[in-house]
Amino acid sequence: MTGCELCARGSDGQQHPGSVGGNVYEDEHWYAYHAPVTIASLGQFFLVSKRHFLDFSEMTPAEAASYGRVLQALYAALKQVVDAERVYLRVTLEGVPHFHAWLFPRRHGETERGMAFMAAERSCSEAEAMAVVGRLREVLASRSDA
């Protein structure tokens, strides 16, 4: 779709502005990358559809079938790599009307929970995020179902 920043990124394979280390996951339907460190907790990721559509009602059967498998792999990897007690998922699509989900890992010891955790302002260092990206790639590559 013309004018959609996520379509433009998905079609040319360029790193999203502000993301760290490029994609940690990519297949025929999805790609995932660390959110910009200036607005993200450590290990916060975006899962983005390669095809332009708005919501679950517009997914193809293949996209819908793969969505759960990809999320399961990302959740398991995030829990392992950043020692997350929980991984929250948020899909709002108000800012960019192209299907994307936010994954928010909540590490052990975090005092905020749920919506308060996801709404809190946070950041992490680029070095920390790069280390997580590298480790996630290793963990995801070792999985036969990812």
- Read off the pLDDT of residues 99-121 as tens digits, 9 standing for 90 and up: 999 999 999 988 889 998 888 88
User: What confidence score (pLDDT) does residue 107 get?
Assistant: 92
At the fourth CATH level, which superfamily is domain 5-142? HIT-like (3.30.428.10)
Give the full edge-to-edge strand order of the sheet including 100-107. Answer: 20-26, 30-34, 45-49, 100-107, 84-90
DSSP-assigned letter for residue 38: T
Distance CA(51)–CA(10), nearest Å, equals 8
Average pLDDT, the chain: 88
- pLDDT tens per residue, range 23-58: 999 999 999 999 999 989 999 999 999 999 999 999
The mean pLDDT value for 118-145 works out to: 90
What region, left, alpha or beta, does residue 108 occupy, with left being phi > 0 and alpha being psi -120 to 50 degrees? beta
Pairing of strands 100-107, 45-49: antiparallel
pTM: 0.88
